[in-house]
Structure 1
Amino acid sequence: MSSANTSADRLARLLNLVPYLLARPGIELVEAAGDLGVSERQLREDLELLWVCGLPGYGPGDLIDMSFDGDRVTITYDAGIDRPLRLTPDEATALVVALRMLAETPGVADRDAIHRALTKIEQAAGEIDAPVAVRLPGNDDRLADLRAALERGNALRLSYYSAARDVSSERVVDPMRLLSVSGRSYLEAWCRSAGAVRMFRVDRIDALTELDEPATPPAEAQSGDVAEGVFQPDPDSPTVTLRVGRGGRWITEYYPCESVVEVTPEEWLVSLRVNDLDWARRLVLGLGPQVVVVAPAELAEAVRDSALEALAAYA
């Protein structure tokens, strides 16, 4: 039943359900459930969802309607779902842009299917006046090289800039997948020097060399869940508490926070976990007078020492 409840499976089933029922008025629910490969309970839940689907306006005469006679169901109003879809020029353009963006997204498996659908829509939407060009942010050459290495299954040597430590390093990685999150492209790979799975932003890969050896991520190398963002704080990482002014509140939207408390209308008390206190030191220095370190004391001392060094350089 788990597969029947996935969003993709349910959407496909709902799209097929109306024409199926239209062709079989008065069909028994148990028979329909058997044909569709779901339980009778799941079919009833699908029918309840169909009742709130329909045309914009979503009032009487807009929504799909049906009647029940015991355990038999008949569609009485299909909301036009049996008619071929006619796209306006704006709708066709939006769909073309979305498909081209999907075709550019790293990690997409069946690009041929996307391109076939795109070709059909472009041929049908002759009203589109101007060509549409879509490119994901990042280095196109890098993405092409990474995609090719993934297809060949080879390991890579990367020269990579780490913003957290403000250093560049070389490392050998075993690529696992390419993905796009929040408009940025990433390589997920097993990093041999770290002995763990790491995410590498494609635009921070300064150079790469494909090695003449297969990529061999160990069994414990598991792809991470990026539904909540690429980088999630480690529960064992140290917590940093900052008193933030109005001009520094943007960090609460940019970084995952443990807590945000309004102390006064002008000041918030913000707690967040960091993997590297040196990164936190640079963050605080960059915010300047908009932030005061409350804890830990080690971070406060590091910020003070860096500020004193900077002042001494000007003396």
Structure 2
Amino acid sequence: MAEKALPRLTRLLGIMTYVQDEGEAPFVDLAEKFDVSVETIRKDINALWASGLPGYAGGDLIDFDSYLFDQDVASIIDSQGVTQVRLSTREGVALVGALASMIASGAAPAVASSARDKIGEMLGADDPVVVQPIADVDHNITASLQDAVTRGRVIDVEYVDAADHRTSRTIEPHRLVAIDGVAYVECFCRRAQDYRTLRIGRIVGVQVRNEEVIAPPADSSGFTLVSQFEATVVAARGSRWVLEDLPGVKIEDVGDDVRATFDVVDVDWVADRLLAIAPYLRAVEPKSVRAALAQHANAVLATVAG
């Protein structure tokens, strides 16, 4: 199976950093460190040699020592700044916040906590940013999913949807993502014969197969979240600004109120949004959205009471 772009890009950047730190690195050492063949390292160095800044003239390209290259040794003459990353304070704070959100969601790899803390230290923060998890995620399931994504393996999962229907699915996982602090696995579902984004918190069982993924990731950046059902909310006109933020919403005036109709992908996500305008709600349909809204409201009240 052809190598995916992301693992190779990660290795190329790793080679640049390693060689920059070491000064000189024999291909055999690089091959052992990155768990590939010497021939693969040679191809990687050639690819890097043809890379650089826009313009791609001689002075814009990454440059290696050609004499040492012929001896199967990598030595960088000009890195074009590839190994130097500079963040503004605003970019650093945003990155720390994003990492904290991913960690809380359960979708982040193990190194995310270390990266968050190191960036926090660079910014001079006394304490790391901590975001409380929005929902419980079984970290054993997350680890199995991440392992399957890394090794390109098919998985059998037990999944409970927003209507509490339990199904068995065979999926080809492509990546774990965090959307609004909630962890999902983007995959090709063999049961649906289409791409799906499954909420990890709703996966209750995982069995990794010794079978390689066949379906490629979707061409688009991320997959379209599949609607579970349609919901309708009637609320006071002053709350329109929150309703307008719902994906694909259609809003019409009804006297002094507004009626919003929209597709529900994740009922908990919708409940979180509606909770912000709870005093202005007149009607919420269907029952599953009302139930989720009540559950979130009770959780908030319990926290305040505690």
Measured against the shorter chain, the TM-score band is 0.3 to 0.5
